Amino acid sequence: MIQQGLIEEVQQILKKYSNLATALQAIGYKEIKEYLDGKITKEAAIEKVKQETRRYAKRQITWFKRIEKIKWLDGLKDTQNNINIILEGMN
The confidence score (pLDDT) of residue 30 equals: 93
pLDDT higher than 90, residue 85:
no
Which structural domains are found in the chain, ordered by start? 6-90 (1.10.287.890)
Judge if pTM exceeds 0.85: no
d(CA 56, CA 78): 27
Mean pLDDT rounded to a whole number for the chain: 91
pLDDT higher than 80, residue 21:
no
* pLDDT band with cut points at 50, 70 and 90 for residue 89: confident
CA atoms within a 13 Å half-sphere pointing along the CA-CB vector of 13: 19
What is the share, in percent, of the chain residues with pLDDT greater than 90?
A: 62
